[in-house]
């Protein structure tokens, strides 16, 4: 790993280097490598140094995608492609390497579980732009040119695409997916309570398809050694997940495959499963016994999954003074023909507000489209949007300020089962966010303020997301020169994992940050879960702290065993680790430097490992969640329908914050994505073709610098020792939840126009 991730980096701490504590602001350890180009990503590793061993250079693969949506392949004509100079092979389902049974090893084999798409499996076409061939050549240019010459003959069948066209045939999800909880049973009698209520609202909500567009394209570089070992550099959120997948499908032992992902240029759910470029690259490498790279194009980034198109109906009822009497929330989402992709969409409506009558429903519609996939805050990003827009609408119905309505219905325990929260500082989020924003100056009536040609509106919404913890191992090694190297097969998708884990270790061991390195991104390192669900700090961070705690105890035992030990009668509780020393707490002059301790013990290194297992018996007694309150200001030009989000305040309660700088960066970035979700992002399909048409960054609109103005992030003090031994929860996904709803509500306050679908484009504002 030292060739990829230097063991020691000099961090740039805002308060200078040296001893740092969690909860302070520390710049990214890997920042310099990224901005100078020293950091290498999946498509940037070459077979340099191996060329002499394998007597070949790196080959390049380019994927050929289907031009139909449903049917079967009748035949291929690859003659023109194979005749091109430099072309080595065209791989299809007809000549691919033999693999283990797809049915046995694909289904439920990856995290998240399900039935992942099987590239080049057979002649069946199940979605438009499905990969049907891989052209492999000596150069990328030759492979790309030859790929355009491959002719595929199809027998086409009628297809069904577009959720709204088939809402009449939904079904309940089949099977099980880790992390998915079906809606709980009805509480009370929601429909009757809605019918009997004095004040009630009902609305339909629609969110279109969104596609992940991280800066780094999905890529896999497979480097084959002379002994047949495959070292794979993959764009993934888990090196071990990709290694497990490859070894099972291709019948390879663990010792034959190493997967590395030292740097990942954004993923946000797209990298939870191995995408199809990985098995295609491995197929080619095994078949040709060469090193191979396969990189998706930007257009192909639109072919392997997306945030699902979702339709919702939400009904709220309340007494005249604003006390909720009924919540009924139904959702129907798309899935593919080959698996039931599921999300937690409606359950949030049973968690946020106190109510005696709650009914929740979630169903799917099978379509001839690729499976949707997890995309930042899956389910919550659009499920909470519907609830929070409905709550805003209800506030006008009962004549109460939107924030006051939420406080009136604040849930002190989980409404569906009365379980307590592990921690919940949502009231403080409301209070601190409102004060920072100046909410008390907001007029209640819409269309109350106009500046020039723009109507000004203020809106707010609540956010909620799970506070998850998984299992992980970590290793901590103290070297004789005082360096500490901590390792786990974690992933950094740009969230600051390198820096946060090093900070946790440095604080626990009492070492300067520049003496600590955290190694990740290698499947040979101690086991770690996928980087998803905003769980990495609570999980891997706790394992890192545990490993360092064990290491301290081992070092203390070594110190006690020295002939002239400074701690002959001391207990572990009597000592502390500070500034590279272990010393007595009460007599701080009594101690020994860690480097001197290892020298005296005649050892070059001391290592300890720790397995973090969540205390499920304890955790299941609580509802574990992160919360937020989002306040925003919009300015709407009514004639043109253009919307500017000029101010956002996001107040977040997410346990102890380990690094305020990287955490605030995550939340502000998520707010940007929320603005993009609210106003810009939607992938448009031509249903006659069954094909996404705006599959590029010129026509798939995302927020750009000119769309983003003031974003203010507040972290409310919270310490949750139920979720993690660190007291930390996740901060990544909570930042997007509620943002689109707050913007929608602000648009109504500005214009009096209620828009219940996203994105809120100018035509919807003007109509």
Active site residues: 733
For residue 706, with 0-12 CB atoms within 10 Å meaning exposed, 13-18 middle and 19 or more buried, which class applies? exposed
Instruction: Kindly state the helix (H) or strand (E) to which residue 474 belongs, with its residue range.
Output: strand 472-479
* CB contact at 8 A, 363 and 171: yes
Distance CA 767, CA 764 (A): 5
For residue 561, with 0-12 CB atoms within 10 Å meaning exposed, 13-18 middle and 19 or more buried, which class applies? exposed
* CB contact at 8 A, 481 and 599: no
Residue matched to tokens 């956002």: 648
Phi, psi (degrees; rounded to nearest 5) at 454: -115, 135
* CB contact at 8 A, 705 and 750: no
* CB contact at 8 A, 118 and 67: no
Q: Would you state the structure tokens that stand for residue 502, as one six-digit string?
A: 């090093």
Distance CA 272, CA 110 (A): 8
Distance CA 647, CA 635 (A): 10
Residue matched to tokens 């203390």: 556
Say whether 205 sits in a helix, a strand or coil. strand
Beta strands 324-335 and 358-366, pairing class: parallel
Phi, psi (degrees; rounded to nearest 5) at 462: -100, 150
Angle (CA) 108-114-119 rounded to 5° is 90
Q: Is the peptide bond before 311 cis (omega within 30 degrees of 0)?
A: no
Residues in the chain: 767
Phi, psi (degrees; rounded to nearest 5) at 301: -65, -15
Distance CA 451, CA 83 (A): 66
Cβ count near 586 (within 10 Å): 10
Report CA torsion sign: 376, 377, 379, 385. negative
Q: The sheet that has 591-593: what strands, in order across it?
A: 575-578, 581-584, 591-593
List all residues 6 or more positions away from 119 whose beta carbon is below 8 Å from its beta carbon.
Answer: 130, 131, 276, 279, 280
Q: Would you state the structure tokens that stand for residue 751, as one six-digit string?
A: 């214009």
Cβ count near 145 (within 10 Å): 18
Distance CA 34, CA 49 (A): 24
Residue matched to tokens 């969409």: 345
Closest by CA position to 671, among listed 635, 711, 627, 629: 711
Distance CA 323, CA 409 (A): 6
For helices 739-751 and 660-679, the axis angle rounded to 10 degrees is: 50
One DSSP character per residue, 101-161 reads -HHHHHTT-SSS-S----TTSSSEE-STT-EEEEEEESSHHHHHHHHTT-EEEEEE-----
């Amino acid at each position: 790993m030292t060739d990829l991730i230097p063991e020691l980096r000099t961090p740039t701490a805002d308060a200078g280097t040296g001893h740092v504590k969690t909860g302070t602001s520390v710049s990214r350890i890997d920042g310099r490598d990224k901005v100078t180009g020293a950091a290498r990503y999946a498509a940037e590793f070459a077979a340099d140094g191996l060329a002499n061993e394998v007597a070949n250079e790196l080959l390049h693969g380019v994927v050929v995608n289907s031009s139909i949506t449903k049917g079967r392949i009748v035949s291929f004509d690859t003659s023109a492609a194979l005749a091109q100079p430099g072309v080595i092979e065209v791989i299809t389902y007809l000549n691919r390497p033999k693999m283990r049974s797809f049915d046995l090893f694909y289904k439920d084999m990856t995290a998240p579980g399900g039935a992942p798409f099987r590239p080049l499996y057979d002649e069946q076409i199940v979605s438009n732009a499905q990969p049907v061939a891989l052209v492999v050549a000596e150069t990328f240019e030759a492979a790309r040119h030859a790929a355009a010459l491959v002719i595929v003959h199809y027998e086409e069948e009628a297809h069904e695409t577009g959720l709204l066209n088939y809402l009449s045939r939904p079904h309940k999800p089949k099977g099980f997916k880790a992390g998915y909880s079906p809606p709980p049973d009805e509480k009370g009698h929601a429909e009757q309570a809605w019918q009997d209520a004095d004040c009630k609202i009902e609305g339909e909500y629609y969110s279109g398809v969104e596609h992940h567009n991280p800066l780094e394209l999905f890529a896999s570089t497979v480097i084959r050694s002379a002994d047949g070992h495959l070292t794979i550099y993959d764009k993934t959120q888990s090196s071990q997940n990709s290694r497990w997948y490859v070894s099972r499908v291709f019948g390879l032992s663990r010792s034959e495959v190493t997967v590395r992902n030292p740097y990942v240029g954004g993923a946000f759910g797209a990298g939870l499963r191995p995408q199809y470029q990985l098995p295609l690259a491995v197929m080619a490498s095994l078949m040709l016994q060469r090193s191979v790279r396969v990189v998706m194009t930007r257009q192909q980034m639109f072919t392997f999954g997306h945030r699902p198109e979702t339709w919702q109906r939400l009904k709220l009822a309340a007494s005249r003074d604003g006390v909720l009497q009924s919540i009924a929330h139904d959702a129907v989402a798309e899935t593919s023909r080959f698996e039931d992709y599921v999300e937690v969409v409606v359950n949030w409506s049973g968690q946020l507000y106190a109510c005696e009558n709650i009914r929740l429903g979630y169903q799917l519609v099978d379509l001839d489209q690729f499976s949707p996939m997890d995309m930042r805050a899956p389910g919550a990003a659009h499920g909470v949007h519907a609830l929070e827009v409905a709550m805003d609408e209800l506030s006008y119905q009962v004549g109460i300020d939107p924030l006051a309505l939420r406080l009136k219905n604040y849930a002190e325990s989980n409404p569906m089962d009365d379980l307590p929260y592990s921690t919940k500082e949502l009231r403080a989020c409301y209070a601190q966010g409102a004060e920072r924003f100046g909410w008390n100056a907001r007029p209640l009536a819409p269309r109350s303020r106009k500046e020039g040609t723009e109507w000004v509106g203020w809106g707010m919404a609540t956010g909620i997301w799970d506070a998850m913890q998984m299992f992980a191992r970590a290793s901590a090694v103290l070297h004789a020169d005082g360096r500490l190297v901590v390792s786990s097969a974690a992933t950094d998708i740009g969230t600051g994992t390198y820096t946060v884990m090093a900070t946790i270790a440095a604080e626990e061991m009492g070492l300067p940050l520049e003496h600590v390195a955290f190694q990740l991104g290698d499947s040979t390192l101690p086991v770690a879960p996928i980087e998803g669900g905003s769980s990495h700090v609570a999980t891997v961070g706790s394992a890192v702290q545990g490993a360092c705690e064990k290491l301290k105890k081992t070092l203390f035992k070594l110190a006690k065993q020295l002939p002239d030990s400074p701690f002959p009668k001391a207990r572990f509780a009597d000592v502390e680790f500070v500034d590279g020393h272990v010393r007595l707490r009460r007599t701080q002059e009594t101690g020994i430097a860690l480097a001197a301790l290892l020298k005296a013990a005649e050892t070059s290194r001391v290592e300890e490992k720790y397995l973090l297992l969540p205390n499920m018996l304890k955790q299941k007694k609580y509802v574990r969640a992160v919360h937020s309150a989002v306040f925003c200001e919009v300015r709407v030009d009514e004639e043109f329908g253009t919307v500017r989000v000029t101010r956002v305040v996001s107040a977040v309660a997410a346990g102890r914050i380990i690094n305020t700088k990287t955490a605030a960066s995550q939340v502000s970035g998520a707010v940007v994505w929320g603005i993009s979700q609210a106003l810009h992002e939607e992938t448009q399909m031509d249903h006659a073709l069954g094909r996404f048409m705006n599959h590029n960054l010129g026509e798939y609109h995302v927020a750009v610098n000119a769309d983003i103005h003031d974003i203010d992030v507040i972290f409310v003090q919270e310490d949750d020792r139920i979720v993690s031994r660190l007291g930390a929860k996740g901060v990544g996904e909570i930042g997007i939840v509620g943002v689109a709803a707050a913007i929608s509500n602000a648009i109504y306050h500005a214009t009096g126009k209620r828009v219940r679908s996203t994105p809120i484009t100018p035509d919807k504002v003007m109509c």
